[in-house]
Every structure is written in C-alpha cells, then in structure tokens.
Amino acid sequence: MIRHIVRLRRYEHRYVQPAFTFSALQFLSFTKTALPQIHLTLHTSQLSMTESLNKEDVMESLSAIQITERGNRRVGNQCLLKLTSGAELHQSLTLTRVDCCYHISCVTSDRVWVSDNKNNLMLTDTTGVPLHRVEDSLSGVGPHTVNSESELIYIDRNYNINKLSKDMKTTTTFIETTDSTWEPGGVYWSPSTGDLLVGMYNDDTKTGKVTRYNQSGQLTQTIQNHNTGRGLYSGPCFITENNNGDVVVSDFMSGAVVVTERGGRHRFSYTGHPSGSGLAPCGICTDALSHILVCDVITDTVQMINKDGQFLSHLLTEPQEMRVPWGLSYDVNTHRLWVGSYNKVRVYRYITRQDALTDEHRPSPYEEAMSSSTPAV
C-alpha cells in the first residue's frame, strides 16, 4: 500500500492538471467501496495504525502532496509545453486612430490595451475597434500594464502612475511623482509578487533606474548600479519579469537587454545576435518556458534568447509581415504572442501544449495503479 501511494503521488506530481479532477484520494476512496474491506498495518515515520482504510488516513498519508493556491502547477505545465517549428500567424487586426503600436498589455485572450507615441491609449478587441480610450496618458514606449484584477495601470502626462478600475469608471492615483529629476517611462505589474516595477529616467545625468513598489504603493527596492558601482541603465522603458524572478529590461538608449536577479545583482546584458549586428531593443516579454523575447528595430526581427542570455533564434523576421516590430505581449493563458507594428497588431502561435493524459503511450492513472503489484495486507 505504501508503494501504491508513492506511485500515485508521483503520477499526480507529473501529470495531473487543474482540469483533470481524478485525484489519488478519489481513487483510493473508490477502492474502499469497490473492493473488500482491507485490513493493514502501516509503519512509517509519521503513521502507525492497524485499522480499516478510511478517508482521514488517506488524507494524512497524502499530506506531502502540495497544491498551489490557484490550483496551477507551473513546473508541470512547462513540461507539457514545447516550441513549434516556427511562429504561425493566428490573426491580424488593424487599429484605428493609432499611429504606431509601441506598447501592448493583454487583458484577456481577446482584449488588449495598446498605445502609440501620440498620447493614444485605447482598449480594443480582435476587431481593432476602440472600446475605451484614456485621455491623459503619457506618450511613450512602455507606459502601461495590467494587474490581476484586470485594472489598467498607466503613467499620465504629469508622470503620476494611475490605476483605472476594471469597469473603467474610476481613476485613482496609485503613485504620485514628487521628484521631478526622475521621470517614470515604463511600468510592469509582476504576476508572481503583485509588485509594480517602474523604469525611471534622469535627463540631467542621462541615467536610469528600476524601482519596485508593493501593492500599497510603497517603494521597496531600487535597482540602479552594476556590482562594480557603475550605472546599469541609460533609459529603461520596457520591463518584464522572468519565471525565475529576474528583472528583464529593454534599454533602447544603451542598445542592450539588461537582466538582474530578483535582489538586483546584474546577471548579464544581451547586445544582439552573435554576428555583431547590434541591437536596438524595444518591446520585451517572457514566455512560459522562460524565454526572453525582444523586438529589434535594426534587423526588424523578434529575437528569442534563453534565461541566461544565449541567442536561440529569430522568432519573427520581416518576410513574416513584421516591419519594424515595437510592442510585445505574451498571453499566459493561450500562450500566444501579440506583436505591434505601425497600426497593425498580429497574434502568433509558437508554443503548443501537449496533453500528457491523452498520450496513447501512457496509461491512465487507474491502469497504472492497477498494473502495480498487489498491496501487502
């Protein structure tokens, strides 16, 4: 029985997804009613009993199985994802009254906020028709993000950081800018911590920094200098965060993607393809497989590098109708990539999800359990 439980634990850890509700506990409960009463003696470091199998005992025995708050297992999902042979265009939309799509923030699989360099910030669906507009947004390249409550967080023209409610009826000031020497240029809400990362620029010194604010709007961290003491950034606008906690910044002015660990220590700077073509980085995001994706307006490509800064591929190139890509946003629910270029937004698929539970080469949990040796009684 111990071997049996261990095998089920292993199966759950590797394969069970939120949509698959057949758990080890349900299976053992089934065996209690479907099979004759089992009397056993268990001796472990945590349990010693001689009695009939019951649900409380099973729950205690399976207490080592850990389930996240939302029922998602990130590592398990990653094991089921893989890259396709190339990016496939899923759909394309033309935006009205948008000059150049500089920045994209996904709300749902069919709704996104997009902005250009002329103070246009609008919510649109897959038709490209504006559903809502924000009139006081900052003209820039990374001035908005969306939190877990589907609220828009954006920088206004006075360099304050505002929050627009989900129903788009209430706007509140989340962070008020009081130091005029540092101007916010880009924001990113962290799904893992709930923090807000803000890219700041000092026009006098031509330097930048990344600041972190908690959910109450309090400053908790400043990332500004290399381990050696010199400045990390020139103009951090596009910001994202990788699955390992790395803070990933697209710094157009320095021509590099600058990556620091969660605590602020510099890990690496990516300056372009190994051929030496250089890099003019714009939109940036990370995906479920911890790849870093960045737009390069020198080569008109979207480049993919791994979490340690090694170039992997040109995910998108100009022949794929991507002239001068600027904005990027990765949809964690559909694993699709939104790419902005001029007044066009295109959605691509380059990751597929393999359903291990339907793999004909793998047995079902019931078959795997029943194929094991008969429990000792």
pLDDT value of residue 318 = 74
Question: pLDDT tens digits for 322-356?
Answer: 678 899 999 998 999 999 988 889 999 999 876 54
Number of Cβ atoms within 10 Å of the Cβ of 158: 11
Q: Do residues 345 and 128 make contact, with C-beta atoms less than 8 angstroms apart?
A: yes
66/200 same-domain check: no
Residue 50 has pLDDT above 50, yes or no: no
Q: Coil, strand or helix: which one is 369? A: helix
58/109 same-domain check: no
Residue found by looking up tokens 């300056």 in the block: 271
Q: Could you tell me which of 242, 243, 173 has the C-alpha nearest to residue 213? A: 173
Q: Do residues 200 and 210 make contact, with C-beta atoms less than 8 angstroms apart?
A: yes
pLDDT band at 62 (very low <50, low <70, confident <90, very high): low
346/364 same-domain check: no
Range of the domain at 14: 2-77+358-370
Any domain includes 241: yes
Q: Which of 7-21, 40-54, 258-272 has the lowest mean pLDDT?
A: 40-54
45/175 same-domain check: no
Higher pLDDT, 17 or 162: 162
34/64 same-domain check: yes
321/366 same-domain check: no
Q: Could you tell me which of 200, 201, 196 has the C-alpha nearest to residue 217? A: 196
Q: What are phi and psi of 368, to 5 degrees?
A: -65, -40
Any domain includes 375: no
Q: Do residues 30 and 82 make contact, with C-beta atoms less than 8 angstroms apart?
A: no
Q: Could you tell me which of 151, 134, 137, 115 has the C-alpha nearest to residue 340? A: 115
Residue 222 CB partners (closer than 8 Å, separation 6+):
209, 210, 211, 212, 264
141/236 same-domain check: yes
Question: pLDDT tens digits for 179-196?
Answer: 999 999 999 999 999 999
Domain count for the chain, please give it: 2
Residue 29 has pLDDT above 90, yes or no: no
| CATH number for the domain harbouring residue 90 | 2.120.10.30
73/153 same-domain check: no
pLDDT value of residue 44 = 44
Any domain includes 329: yes
> What is the Cα 229 distance to its own chain's centre?
30
30/176 same-domain check: no
Residue 357 has pLDDT above 50, yes or no: no
- Can you read off the two tokens belonging to residue 334? 């559909």
- Terminal-residue alpha carbon distance, the chain: 8
Q: What is the DSSP string of 3-38?
A: HHHHHHHHHHHHH--TT----HHHHHHHHHHHSPPP
Distance between CA atoms of residues 272 and 261, nearest Å: 20
263-267: list long-range contacts, CB under 8 Å, 24+ apart: 264/221, 264/222, 264/223, 265/227, 266/226, 266/227, 266/232, 267/308, 267/309
Q: Which of 85-99, 281-295, 297-311 has the lowest mean pLDDT?
A: 85-99
pLDDT band at 26 (very low <50, low <70, confident <90, very high): low
52/121 same-domain check: no
Higher pLDDT, 137 or 63: 137
pLDDT value of residue 61 = 57
66/89 same-domain check: no
pTM, entire model: 0.73
Any domain includes 101: yes
Any domain includes 288: yes
| pLDDT averaged over every residue in the chain | 81
Question: pLDDT tens digits for 304-317?
Answer: 999 999 999 999 98
Higher pLDDT, 116 or 40: 116
pLDDT value of residue 205 = 92
pLDDT value of residue 339 = 94
Any domain includes 377: no
Distance between CA atoms of residues 340 and 345, nearest Å: 4
Q: Could you tell me which of 243, 219, 304, 264 has the C-alpha nearest to residue 75? A: 243
- The percentage of the chain sitting over the pLDDT mark of 90, rounded to a whole number, equals 54
Any domain includes 376: no
Question: pLDDT tens digits for 199-225?
Answer: 999 999 999 999 999 999 999 999 999
pLDDT band at 95 (very low <50, low <70, confident <90, very high): confident
Q: Coil, strand or helix: which one is 61? A: helix
Residue 258 has pLDDT above 90, yes or no: yes
65/165 same-domain check: no
Distance between CA atoms of residues 207 and 182, nearest Å: 10
pLDDT value of residue 27 = 60
Q: What is the DSSP string of 169-181?
A: --EEEEE----TT
Q: Which of 51-65, 171-185, 279-293, 322-336 has the lowest mean pLDDT?
A: 51-65
